[in-house]
Amino acid sequence: MAGLEPSRSVPAAEPRADYEHTSGEVNRPALVESLRARVDGDVRFDEYSRQSYATDASIYEVPPVGVVFPTSTADVAAVVETCASVDVPVLPRGGGTSLAGQTVNEAVVLDFTRYMDDVRTVDPDTRTARAQVGTTLGDLNADLADHDLKFAPDPAWGDKSALGGAIGNNSTGAHSLQYGKTDHYVESCEVVLSDGTVTEFGELSVTELRERAGDEDLESRIYAAVADVLDEHGDEIAAAYPDLKRNVSGYNLDRLVAEADGEFGEPGTVNLARLLAGSEGTLAIVTEATVSLEPVPETKAMALLTYGDLIDAMADVAPILEHDPAAVEILDDVMIDLARDTAEFEDVAAILPDGTRATLLVEFYAEDDAEGRELVDRLLADRLDGTASVTDEPVRAAEGLEAHDEAKREKFWKLRKSGLPILLSRTSDAKHVAFIEDTGVPPENLPEYVADFQEVLEDHDTFASFYAHAGPGVLHIRPLVNTKTVEGVETMVSIADDVTDLVVEYGGSVSGEHGDGRARTCWNEKLYGTDVWEVFRELKTAFDPDWLLNPGQVVGVDDAAVEAGTAPPRARTVDMATQLRFDPEYDIDAGLAPTLEWDNENGMEGMVELCHGCGGCRGPQETTGSVMCPTYRAADEELTATRGRANMLRQAMSGDLPDDPTDDQFAEEVLDLCIGCKGCKRDCPSGVDMAKLKAEVTHARHQEHGASLRDKLFANVDTLFALGSRVAPVANLLGSLPGSDTVLEKTVGIARERDTPTLHSETFADWFAARERSLSTDEATRSVVLFADAYTNHVHPDVGKAAVEVLEAAGVSVTLLDGHTDSGRPAYSKGLLDDARATAESVVGALEPYVDAGRDVVVVEPSDAVMLQSDYLDLLGQNERTAAVATNTYGLCEYLDAFDLDREIAWAPPARSLAYHGHCHQKATKKDHHAVGVLRRAGYDIDPLDSGCCGMAGSFGYEAEHYSMSQAIGDILFEQVEESPAEQVVAPGASCRTQLGDREGGEDPPHPVEALADALATARSRP
């Protein structure tokens, strides 16, 4: 679709935008002034910015001193120097997806993801790339894909997390057996040292290291300290570190010593860039890195082994490793049961035979399909049949399934990832928390270790699931703990203590994946012994003499050192039991009386507290796809991600913010910008439903302050349209008069760029009433009552006509629901919940007799369909009548697809290919695939776009102050449409069609049912 030139913009910069992503008192104004004088990037020390950077994906919450978004290495150096001059710490940050709390501290946070996210160069010949540290791994890999290369470490959240974070945490993922950790791929780094010096760290000989060592400046003292580690502590380190594929506790000293010994290349060389891997921002700040790359594997093959017992599965890991797999992942019975009980996953869980209590998923990389099959065959012959013994180990597996094509492999991976979202959706005070969630032990020790771990949990009267990277011995284990009670916090510390003992006993590490942070630093001394802990301190003080870089994490000092004045108080080793997000002092009071049904969420507060901070809502459209979260994707602001909103709402309700959730400022900066697309309801692993929260809080705000005229107008759009249709020529003329758009913007706040809809004198209802019924109930295979919304009735009657035509062609008798063109959706999205409820009540009352008589309800507009199917239950409660309407309601194509009604129709589609943009509410309810199936069966060549929300979001895009945000979201969709090979785009949502029609050079796209009607008409016109 050529000719359209989408462009990304900064929505808040538009003069009409009433938000700037900042608010509240500015902390340390003098420091802000000094920083602004030296830094080109944004400097934000206001309360909203500070609170939105107070959390990461961990259980901790620490408001920073302020936040800076640097644009260059010079900015970073200026921040470090300026902060050092006033004794304020600095903390580098990527996506903030860390699970141990290493991305929160009382420091000036440097967020690299906004401006320092360029991939500088890719050199396929040397298989290296140079990138700024704010680049996400997803974006980096997208740039490498053309060369069939990749940055090999694959942390699960790579599309949301940054290269700097991967280096900071020494990240890796499910394929670490094959690739190892990030340290293996960091060739060199540009760094800013703790005094602001900019330098490059890379490989050098130990001789050179010693030559550079000295006492003249910070850099030479660093070289001296590293040389000292090698010369004085090499043996100690080699003895203290566990022999593991994955260990990210403490500093990366074992790698340093092994490099010098020649384990990774020439003996006598070391790489200081690799020493920074896993240092969690405590040694130096990386600004750019050169990384080495791996070829993308030709193909993969998988086997899924099932077991009747978890310990049997654990015992099978070591023998499976003999087959040299790329990944071995475990899933226990807790996860399997959760998957079996959840609609989304029951189909994948159904592949498991009865009696399965654990599975091992084994993946191989192969040159071609034949090799993949051979590898799987050999594994199954050994570990399932016992016919080709590779080791002396007995056969333990019950069954073995194979996956060679991509769809089936994805199914296996979906099963592996199925339980976590459910585990994290717990709305009770007790939650499955991350504090010992990534311990690692040698795989051969897994059976005994897991058995002992289970005992520890039983002793503490709790439980957890055991899953993830069994191959390298790294298990994800999140015990159920309530940190809102003193006993809960004590339980957490006690479990961590016992587990550290176990880890030491079994030759493991406290962290095999997520790092030390606030949760694990305090266990490093126990893990490595006092001597190595002291080496950590020496290294830290050489790099950062004043403890200014993320202090207290990875290593710290004790009270005695602080009292003796040898270290500042901030250097104290962080205490894992303090600065918790939910602690015994935590108290939440929504300060409003909720009117929606929140029983399933443990009250509204349960939903507010559900976000665990994983940062999943920060994924870009290009690499993450799906819907969540369009406003973040458009604005690139933490506060516009679901996480930002959820954090701010919780903080406003628990008194951490100066504003109440119903205050003007809070509305403008936080909630008004949520477009209510429900993307988070589906895509967030915890199921945070921000659209519902927004509706509730906005309702309470209206109760306090009253609703605006514009809100009331938009909420009653059906009445306005009905009046307008009666005098359509005049109403349309008024709307098209020169200057009418400016008047509307000035008086009501409707963006002047938007055209008022053109109303039809003959409405769809008029047409329906006047037509001769073509299919009676007796002749029909099914009967429906059709709900046509205000847009279909007054603005797009052709869509309604096409719907009737297609339904009747499918043998369905159609009755129009008379007198109802409003489902309550417009009032609901404006937070006018009493009005929405009254409308819902009346629609349910009108539909009830039809439903009782066995008719199905079919709804033209997707957002109305979802209103009846799901939001009515929140508005009216889970009563029988509402549930009956909800269960029997369908979207148009959903209906055709669900009952296979389109299959007998003779279609002859015009020769044009279609891009399909689904409505976000349909996506949220997993119903957007139906239209694609039906259109495909009708013979269209379809390109289903992995698109998010269009940005119009009902009335949002009409609002002058939100126009630029709406456009920025729309630009993402326009780009996808532009890139699609299809000739025309179709979209079932009226708002989406308006937004797509409003794009430069664009025209209003048809509803899919109009495309179906065309295919019908062509077929009928043929002799």
Ligand X SMILES: Cc1cc2nc3c(=O)[nH]c(=O)nc-3n(C[C@H](O)[C@H](O)[C@H](O)COP(=O)(O)OP(=O)(O)OC[C@H]3O[C@@H](n4cnc5c(N)ncnc54)[C@H](O)[C@@H]3O)c2cc1C
What minimum distance in Å lies between the beta carbon of 470 and ligand SF4?
A: 25
Please, what sign has the CA dihedral across residues 715, 721, 727, 732?
Answer: positive
What minimum distance in Å lies between the beta carbon of 661 and ligand X?
A: 26
The binder of 643, among ligand X, ligand SF4, none, by C-beta within 5 to 8 A per type, is ligand SF4
In the three-class reduction of DSSP (H, G, I as helix; E, B as strand; rest coil), residue 300 is classed as strand
Output 150 or 618, the one with its CB closest to ligand SF4: 618
The binder of 688, among ligand X, ligand SF4, none, by C-beta within 5 to 8 A per type, is ligand SF4
C-alpha distances out from residue 647 to 26, 578, 665, 688, 691, Å: 19, 19, 16, 11, 15
Output 173 or 679, the one with its CB closest to ligand X: 173
Site stretch for ligand X (CB under 6 A), options 34-42, 87-95, 879-887, 922-930: 87-95
Phi, psi of 451, rounded to the nearest 5 degrees:
-60, -45
96 binds ligand X (CB under 6 A): yes
Which residues within the stretch 536-575 sit at the binding site for ligand X (CB under 6 A)?
550
The binder of 88, among ligand X, ligand SF4, none, by C-beta within 5 to 8 A per type, is none
- Whether residue 218 contacts residue 80, with contact meaning beta carbons closer than 8 Å, is answered with no
* HEC-encoded secondary structure of 714-783: HHCHHHHHHHHHHCHHHHHHHHHCCCHHHHHHHHCCECCCCCCCCCCCCCHHHHHHHCCCCCCCCCCCEE
The binder of 306, among ligand X, ligand SF4, none, by C-beta within 5 to 8 A per type, is none
Output 365 or 958, the one with its CB closest to ligand SF4: 958
What minimum distance in Å lies between the beta carbon of 916 and ligand SF4?
A: 20
Which residues within the stretch 120-179 sit at the binding site for ligand X (CB under 6 A)?
133, 155-157, 161-162, 164-166, 168-169, 171-173
Which residues within the stretch 231-290 sit at the binding site for ligand X (CB under 6 A)?
280-281, 285-286
> Over the Cα atoms of the chain, what is R_g?
30
442 CA to centre of own chain = 31
Q: Where do runs of H (alpha helix) occur along 295-356?
A: 310-321, 333-340, 343-349
Output 280 or 822, the one with its CB closest to ligand X: 280
Output 612 or 754, the one with its CB closest to ligand SF4: 612
The binder of 677, among ligand X, ligand SF4, none, by C-beta within 5 to 8 A per type, is ligand SF4
Output 27 or 550, the one with its CB closest to ligand X: 550
Which one of 92, 196, 551, 800 is in contact with ligand X (CB under 6 A)? 92
245 CA to centre of own chain = 28
Instruction: Please list, in sequence order, all residues whose beta carbon lies within 8 angstroms of the beta carbon of residue 338, skipping any fewer than 6 positions away.
Output: 345, 418, 419, 422, 423, 465
How far, in Å, CA of 990 to CA of 789, rounded? 10
Which of the 8 DSSP states describes residue 580?
B
99 binds ligand X (CB under 6 A): yes
Output 103 or 178, the one with its CB closest to ligand X: 103
Tell me how many residues contact ligand X (CB under 6 A): 36
| Nearest to 364, CA basis, from 181, 174, 142 | 174
Q: Please list the helix, strand and coil fractions of the chain in percent, rounded to the nearest 5, in that order.
A: 45, 15, 40
608 CA to centre of own chain = 17
Which one of 91, 317, 352, 436 is in contact with ligand X (CB under 6 A)? 91
The binder of 684, among ligand SF4, ligand X, none, by C-beta within 5 to 8 A per type, is ligand SF4
- Whether residue 54 contacts residue 96, with contact meaning beta carbons closer than 8 Å, is answered with no
Output 471 or 685, the one with its CB closest to ligand SF4: 685
The binder of 168, among ligand SF4, ligand X, none, by C-beta within 5 to 8 A per type, is ligand X
638 binds ligand X (CB under 6 A): no
The binder of 890, among ligand SF4, ligand X, none, by C-beta within 5 to 8 A per type, is none
Output 643 or 855, the one with its CB closest to ligand SF4: 643
* HEC-encoded secondary structure of 357-410: CEEEEEEEEECCHHHHHHHHHHHHHHHHHCCCCCCCCCCCCCEEEEECCHHHHH
Output 336 or 617, the one with its CB closest to ligand X: 617
Output 35 or 590, the one with its CB closest to ligand SF4: 590
Output 773 or 926, the one with its CB closest to ligand SF4: 926
Output 94 or 749, the one with its CB closest to ligand X: 94
What minimum distance in Å lies between the beta carbon of 693 and ligand X?
A: 21
Please, what sign has the CA dihedral across residues 762, 764, 765, 767?
Answer: positive
In the three-class reduction of DSSP (H, G, I as helix; E, B as strand; rest coil), residue 468 is classed as strand
The binder of 286, among ligand SF4, ligand X, none, by C-beta within 5 to 8 A per type, is ligand X
How far, in Å, CA of 30 to CA of 36, rounded? 10
Instruction: Please list, in sequence order, all residues whose beta carbon lies within 8 angstroms of the beta carbon of residue 51, skipping any fewer than 6 positions away.
Output: 63, 647, 648, 651, 656, 657
Instruction: Please list, in sequence order, all residues whose beta carbon lies within 8 angstroms of the beta carbon of residue 635, skipping any fewer than 6 positions away.
Output: 10, 11, 12, 21, 673, 965, 968
The binder of 41, among ligand SF4, ligand X, none, by C-beta within 5 to 8 A per type, is none
Output 821 or 966, the one with its CB closest to ligand SF4: 966
Output 383 or 612, the one with its CB closest to ligand SF4: 612
323 CA to centre of own chain = 34
The binder of 686, among ligand X, ligand SF4, none, by C-beta within 5 to 8 A per type, is ligand SF4
The binder of 102, among ligand SF4, ligand X, none, by C-beta within 5 to 8 A per type, is ligand X
194 binds ligand X (CB under 6 A): no
What minimum distance in Å lies between the beta carbon of 638 and ligand X?
A: 11
C-alpha distances out from residue 602 to 464, 605, 683, 925, 934, Å: 21, 7, 20, 21, 39
What minimum distance in Å lies between the beta carbon of 329 and ligand X?
A: 11
| Strand 812-816 versus strand 782-787 pairing type | parallel
| Nearest to 950, CA basis, from 725, 669, 675, 710 | 675
The identity of residue 518, as a single letter, is R
481 binds ligand X (CB under 6 A): no
The binder of 171, among ligand X, ligand SF4, none, by C-beta within 5 to 8 A per type, is ligand X
89 binds ligand X (CB under 6 A): no
Which residues within the stretch 512-531 sit at the binding site for ligand X (CB under 6 A)?
513-514
The binder of 91, among ligand X, ligand SF4, none, by C-beta within 5 to 8 A per type, is ligand X
How far, in Å, CA of 464 to CA of 492, rounded? 13
| Nearest to 316, CA basis, from 414, 188, 446 | 446
614 binds ligand X (CB under 6 A): yes
- Whether residue 994 contacts residue 981, with contact meaning beta carbons closer than 8 Å, is answered with no
Which residues within the stretch 907-966 sit at the binding site for ligand X (CB under 6 A)?
none
Output 684 or 901, the one with its CB closest to ligand SF4: 684
List residues binding ligand SF4 (CB under 6 A): 611-617, 628-631, 642-643, 645-646, 674-680, 684-686, 688, 690-691
What minimum distance in Å lies between the beta carbon of 525 and ligand SF4?
A: 32
Output 409 or 650, the one with its CB closest to ligand SF4: 650
What minimum distance in Å lies between the beta carbon of 123 and ligand X?
A: 22
In the three-class reduction of DSSP (H, G, I as helix; E, B as strand; rest coil), residue 294 is classed as strand
How far, in Å, CA of 612 to CA of 609, rounded? 8
- Whether residue 100 contacts residue 125, with contact meaning beta carbons closer than 8 Å, is answered with no
C-alpha distances out from residue 589 to 584, 601, 704, Å: 15, 16, 17
**Could you give the count of Cα atoms lying within 13 Å of 914 in the half-sphere of its Cβ?**
30
Binding site for ligand X (CB under 6 A): 56-57, 91-99, 102-103, 112, 133, 155-157, 161-162, 164-166, 168-169, 171-173, 280-281, 285-286, 513-514, 550, 614
